[in-house]
Amino acid sequence: MAKKPYYQHWLEEADKDFRYASWSLENAEENFYSFILFHFQQAAEKYLKAYIVFKKLPFKKIHDLAELLAIIKIADQSFVKIENKAVFLNDFYVDTRYPVYWPTGHTKELAVKAKQAVQGIGSFVKKKIGGAGIEI
């Protein structure tokens, strides 16, 4: 059995975050939008890291989507097409070390917009990699 490429693990983890956040968005009975938005941001981060690993670019343990895109754009300027989506999602990262401050006041409409942004990023990355991973 062939060993799975490392970038594939990143895609699978991104898909899990995306599916979890999407499910939560549809099924949450309370205002958990900060948590949902965090998982959408995490999905986008992992999609970008999948591409970085795929292209063997310098890997950094960071959460800043704009900084990850800067690394990617050295190799592929076409990623400028998803820059607005990444910048939008960047604000939803929460440092999960204690004590944690989870922002309040987020809305379902904002979470729906975040879901659409992640779908765009995930689709773009998967097309660049060659269709690897689960369709979103």
Q: Mind giving me the DSSP string for 10-56?
A: HHHHHHHHHHHHHHHHHH-SS--HHHHHHHHHHHHHHHHHHHHHHTT
What pLDDT was estimated at residue 98?
Answer: 64
The label of the residue with tokens 């659409």 reads 116
Beta-carbon count within 10 A of 103 CB: 12
Does the pLDDT of residue 131 top 60, yes or no? Answer: no
What pLDDT was estimated at residue 2?
Answer: 67
What pLDDT was estimated at residue 135?
Answer: 47
Q: Where are the domains of the chain?
A: 6-129
Which of 87, 88, 54 lies closest to 69, judged by CA? 87
- pLDDT tens digits, residue range 40-62? 999 999 999 999 999 999 988 99
Give the CATH superfamily of 6-129: Nucleotidyltransferases  domain 2 (1.20.120.330)
Angle at 121 between CA 116 and CA 122, to 5 degrees: 95
Does the pLDDT of residue 95 top 90, yes or no? Answer: no
